[in-house]
């Protein structure tokens, strides 16, 4: 599965077809709505397992003292917080998010924990990252790529600002491997998740979109090919929790 379009000026917003220039605003509205409850909902939606997925991402990043890291769609700062400790005072972590509501929640959260000295907050579109070529040792995007209108542009932009030898890491919901798990996951995603969203965040529609956006995201092999097309090498993926989530990695030659 690739980015599905009926025509050059149409793209998908969940299962709905919308004009390309409308998707970004629609996605923004979703995250403005869910920002304040985002962490609570992550724990509820995944049963806390998202913390394990993120920990594995950190462990496989190879990030060490003095590195420069870009955390795209960094939201409330889960990965940024951990990277900040790894890079130390000699390093730097940029938490980037296109949505100012999410960025503000992340900034407040990290400041409350005293994490400010080596962290920078930047409102940025993943498709046109505002950084010089060859800037970062590692770039992560966790549960954000599926919301990007032109994923190929975003991957190319990441490759451009990555240093040679640096690593791009895409942690994202993906395609399950077992038919029974897929059926159970569908029931959860389309029946229970919107109701949880309504109960906890007061927003059923946004969580229905989030469930639909997962189904519209490219499968593991397709995303691997897109990373290769962006100029990355040694691209591979690791399925977690039966393929509910996959961690894709690629290196800049």
C-alpha R_g of the chain: 17
Give CA–CA dist 219/1, Å, rounded. Answer: 6
Residue 31 makes CB contacts below 8 A (sequence gap 6+) with 38, 99, 101, 102, 147
Any binding-site annotation on 125? Answer: yes
Any binding-site annotation on 134? Answer: no
Give CA–CA dist 178/149, Å, rounded. Answer: 29
Neighbouring C-alpha atoms within 13 Å toward the C-beta of 59:
7
Cβ contact 93:64 at 8 Å: no
Give CA–CA dist 57/72, Å, rounded. Answer: 14
Any binding-site annotation on 184? Answer: no
Binding-site residue positions for S-adenosyl-L-methionine: 76, 97, 125-126
Binding-site residue positions: 76, 97, 125-126
């Amino acid at each position: 599965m690739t980015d599905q379009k009926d025509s050059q000026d149409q793209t998908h917003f969940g299962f709905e077809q919308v004009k390309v220039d409308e998707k970004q605003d629609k996605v923004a509205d979703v995250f403005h709505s869910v920002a304040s409850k985002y962490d609570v909902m992550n724990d509820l939606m995944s049963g806390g397992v998202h913390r394990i997925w993120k920990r594995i991402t950190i462990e496989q990043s190879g990030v060490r003292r003095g590195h420069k890291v870009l955390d795209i769609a960094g939201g409330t700062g889960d990965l940024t917080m951990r990277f900040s400790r790894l890079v130390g005072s000699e390093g730097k972590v940029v938490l980037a998010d296109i949505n100012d509501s999410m960025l503000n929640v992340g900034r407040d959260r990290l400041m409350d924990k005293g994490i400010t000295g080596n962290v920078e907050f930047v409102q940025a579109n993943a498709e046109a990252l505002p950084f010089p070529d060859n800037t970062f040792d590692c770039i992560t995007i966790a549960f954000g790529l599926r919301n990007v209108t032109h994923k190929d542009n975003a991957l190319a932009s990441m490759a451009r600002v990555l240093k040679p030898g640096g690593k791009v890491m895409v942690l994202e919901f993906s395609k399950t491997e077992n038919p029974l798990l897929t059926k159970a996951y569908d029931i959860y995603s389309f029946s229970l998740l919107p109701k949880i969203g309504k109960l906890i965040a007061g927003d059923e529609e946004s969580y229905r979109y989030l469930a639909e956006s997962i189904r519209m995201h490219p499968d593991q092999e397709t995303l691997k090919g897109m990373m290769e097309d962006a100029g990355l090498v040694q691209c591979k993926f690791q399925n977690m929790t039966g393929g509910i989530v996959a961690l894709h990695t690629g290196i800049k030659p």
